[in-house]
């Protein structure tokens, strides 16, 4: 169940994926990542986390860079991911001066990351006729914190 009305064909899958196969395109705010990792680690047996939103073809991280880097820091081998059709016109990369999706994918394949919050991905809501934060496509996952090795 999602809180917005969107083209259901956008979702290509929801699953755990090898974390090493995901491709970030932005740097993160270190303090935010550290706080999130510490917060996740504070749970004794499990934590409920929003999935990372990724392109189903390139595994580019569209939303969830801080979650991704926090899970990496904690030693997780798999990450909860919602795979989407990034090429869809129902997804935009920003309000003002949006970057081309192909350029963002190319950056994700390289080691040169954009500055934090360089993109502002949004999904079109058919009901409200507005662009909404793309995290609304995330699914909730239970991750086992007792398995944290770091």
Residue 9: half-sphere exposure toward Cβ, Cα within 13 Å: 4
For the annotated catalytic residues, the residue numbers are 26
> Cα(71)–Cα(15) distance, rounded to whole angstroms?
15
Judge whether 144 and 79 are in contact, CB under 8 Å.
no
φ/ψ region of 64 (left if φ > 0, alpha if ψ in -120 to 50, else beta) reads left
**For the packed helices 30-41 and 65-73, what is the interaxial angle rounded to 10 degrees?**
60
Residue 56, burial from CB neighbour count under 10 angstroms (0-12, 13-18, 19+): middle
């Amino acid at each position: 169940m999602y809180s917005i009305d969107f083209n259901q064909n956008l979702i290509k899958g929801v699953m755990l994926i090898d974390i090493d196969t995901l491709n970030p395109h932005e740097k993160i705010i270190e303090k935010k990542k550290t706080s999130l990792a510490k917060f996740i680690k504070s749970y004794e047996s499990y934590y409920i986390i929003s999935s990372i939103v990724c392109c189903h073809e390139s595994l580019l991280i569209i939303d969830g860079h801080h979650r991704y880097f926090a899970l990496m820091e904690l030693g997780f081998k798999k990450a909860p991911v919602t795979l989407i059709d990034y090429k869809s016109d129902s997804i935009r990369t920003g309000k003002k001066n949006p970057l081309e999706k192909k350029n963002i994918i190319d950056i994700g394949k390289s080691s040169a990351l954009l500055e934090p919050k360089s993109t502002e991905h949004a999904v079109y809501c058919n009901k409200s006729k507005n662009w909404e934060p793309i995290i609304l496509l995330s699914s909730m996952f239970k991750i086992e914190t007792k398995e944290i090795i770091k």
